[in-house]
Chains A and B, each alone.
Chain A
Amino acid sequence: MAISLVRTVIIFITIMIALRIMGKRQLGELEPSELVVTVLISDIAATPMQESGTPLLYGIVPVLALLCFEVIISGTILKSIKFRSILCGKPSILINNGKIVQSEMKKNRFTFDELGVELRRQNVTDIETVKHAILETDGSLSILLYPEELPVTAKQMNVTPDPVGYPVIVVNNGRTMTNNLKVIGRDERWLKKELKKRGTSNINDVFLMTADPCGKIYLQLKDK
């Protein structure tokens, strides 16, 4: 039991490092090669975790091999369009200029029910509003509506909205995030001034404070 526990920790750390090196895409939408690697890694890792008679290396070596393959393949995909189309396939246009492309639906074994589900997920209930629907290589559906169905933008209304900055966390559960303050061009003196303006002088009382370069601040104090 103790062995199983220690192995689980070791394999977990190995997989975490491997997935971290592979990048964020492993966690989000997956290309076929990425999906294979992710599924395989979990399967391979499980065996030495559960069977203490199997050497740990029987889990670690395949994980390392998969990691190497994934990095090499994803690098090659970036550089070679042909290789990418072989490995990942090409996007399929399921709706073209408002018309469902039945041959593509058949080719991808995509039913109308599934198409309806994907459209509704993106808040589209009327198929007539869709100009193009593209089934991407990672299985997600991209939808392009007709221009007249799109929400109005501030530019179209000739309205200048307030500038929006990228908010960063400057205080996290009583801790000052000094690096983030530098990102927005501020310092601790500014932070203390802003806190005082909002009725508190003690950073330890702050649960969360975010700020953006445009001066927008969100502050929440800790529950008492």
Chain B
Amino acid sequence: MKKEFFAGVLFLVVFTLVLVNINRLDTLCTEVNTYISKTATYAETSDFDLAKENAEHAITAWKENDLYTHTVLRHADVDSVTDSLYELLISVSSENENRIKATARKASSTVDSLKQAEHLRLSSIL
């Protein structure tokens, strides 16, 4: 009975940690997406300095959690987000509004798909 009890507790602990992980990932992705959307907004108003600053903040926020992201996510997925963020930074340097908007949408979509993949939904499970 003791063994089964501890097994049940262990399962609940693991499940709780999984939920905590989903929450943490959500927070991180929301933070990065906020910087991405600010980058696009500033680019629209031709304030490319602030756009660049926010693009750099997005990269910093993502890179700061490098150990965490590499521990809980597929490395290919982590790298694709990193690549899209650097792509955004490069596009900001070009000062081409349309290009910045497109790369911002791409980066945001990559981050969102990563976030959604970890959520407990039927489409993710299946």
Contact = CB atoms under 8 A, between A and B. Distances in A.
A65 B11 CA distance: 6
Interface in B88-109: none
Contacts of A53: 74-76
Contacts of A72: 4, 7-8, 11
Q: Which of the four size classes fits the interface of chain A?
A: 10 to 19
Q: Which of the four size classes fits the interface of chain B?
A: 10 to 19
A72 B72 CA distance: 27
Given A75-B4, A76-B4, A68 B72 contact: no
B74 A71 contact: no
B76 A68 contact: no
Contacts of B7: 67-69, 71-72, 75
Contact of A75 (B3, B18, B70, B76): B3
B71 interface: yes
B10 interface: yes
Contacts, number: 46
A118 B100 CA distance: 72
Interface string A175-216: 000000000000000000000000000000000000000000
Contact of A55 (B1, B3, B74): B74
19 contacts: A53-B74, A53-B76, A54-B74, A54-B75, A55-B75, A56-B71, A57-B71, A57-B72, A64-B10, A64-B11, A64-B14, A67-B7, A68-B8, A69-B11, A72-B7, A72-B8, A75-B1, A75-B3, A75-B7
